[in-house]
């Protein structure tokens, strides 16, 4: 394993993040505050509690998941797309490093950025509501796994994308709607039986449910099933990336 190469890619990607640290820090704080103002004022006044938890606290895991998923995808997709766009990816491919080391560098940096955003949003949420985390280690595990898995997805999108508009296509038209429909701001049990069944086909439901369980001990699906879902998604993304580098699809073409 060429750790020096992994470190070089990782440090390069993180340096770009720290150059815009103020923007990276202020943006999630403002967005989170707006969500609390809008949902707290418009919906929180009508919904006092959900499963015995105040509505303001109930939406915190969903807010974190929404931001972490979108940030992980955006950072990873742009990180690999830009070298492909300017042509420096060929220097990377000709270097004495394998695809796993390339992925570890780019995905590791993107996951670190998303994790930072998640922690910032968690801290911001604590200013608005009283939070108690019943299973802190499980919370950290779900947060790290989500950052890694969606950074892998973003890496795939960055290789697939043919222009900058396509980089935003999947996060805006697919991931964000799935998060909103995945129980981020409500409990699946509040839906009619038919819509509950349909919701279980949404993979984001399992991530949000497991993450919310780590906070409040409540979940819409069994915790083991949530871990299995995110593990299967991570392995699927790794398999797709392996195939991409093996065939050279969208890289050497």
Separation between Cα atoms, residue 152 and residue 145, nearest integer Å: 11
Domain boundaries, the chain: 3-13+55-247
Chain segment 142-192, per-residue pLDDT in tens: 999 999 999 999 999 999 988 888 888 888 888 888 888 888 888 888 888
Chain segment 66-120, per-residue pLDDT in tens: 889 988 998 999 999 988 888 888 888 888 888 899 999 999 999 999 999 899 8
**For the chain, how many residues are written?**
253
- Local structure of residue 175 (DSSP, 8 states): I
Question: Residue written as tokens 């999108």?
Answer: 157
- Local structure of residue 248 (DSSP, 8 states): T
Diameter of the chain measured on Cα atoms: 60
Q: At 49, phi and psi to the nearest 5?
A: -140, 155
3-class SS letters over 49-82: EECCEEHHHHCHHHHHHHHHHHHHHHHHHHHHHH
| pLDDT at 238 exceeding the cut of 70 | yes
| pLDDT at 47 exceeding the cut of 80 | no
3-class SS letters over 154-196: HHHHHHHCCCHHHHHHHHHHHHHHHHHCCCCCCCHHHCCHHHH
Predicted local confidence at residue 45, as pLDDT: 62
Local structure of 100: helix, strand or coil? helix
């Amino acid at each position: 394993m060429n750790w020096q190469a992994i470190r070089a890619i990782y440090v390069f990607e993180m340096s770009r993040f720290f150059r815009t640290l103020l923007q990276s820090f202020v943006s999630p704080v403002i967005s989170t505050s707006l969500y609390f103002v809008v949902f707290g004022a418009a919906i929180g006044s009508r919904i006092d509690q959900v499963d015995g938890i105040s509505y303001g606290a109930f939406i915190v895991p969903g807010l974190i998941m929404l931001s972490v998923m979108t940030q992980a995808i955006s950072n990873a997709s742009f990180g690999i797309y830009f070298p492909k766009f300017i042509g420096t990816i060929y220097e990377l491919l000709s270097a004495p490093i394998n695809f796993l080391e390339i992925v570890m560098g780019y995905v590791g940096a993107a996951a670190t950025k998303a994790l930072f955003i998640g922690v910032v949003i968690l801290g911001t949420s604590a200013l608005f509501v009283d939070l108690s985390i019943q299973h802190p280690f499980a919370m950290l595990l779900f947060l790290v796994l989500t950052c890694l898995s969606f950074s892998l997805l973003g890496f795939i999108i960055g290789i697939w994308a043919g222009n900058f508009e396509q980089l935003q296509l999947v996060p805006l038209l697919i991931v964000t709607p799935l998060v909103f429909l995945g129980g981020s701001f409500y409990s699946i049990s509040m839906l009619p039986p038919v819509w509950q069944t349909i919701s279980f086909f949404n993979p984001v439901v399992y991530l949000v449910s497991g993450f919310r369980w780590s906070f409040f001990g409540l979940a819409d699906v069994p915790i083991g099933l949530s871990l299995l879902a995110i593990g299967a998604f991570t392995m699927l993304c790794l398999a797709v990336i392996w195939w991409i580098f093996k065939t050279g699809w969208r890289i050497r073409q």
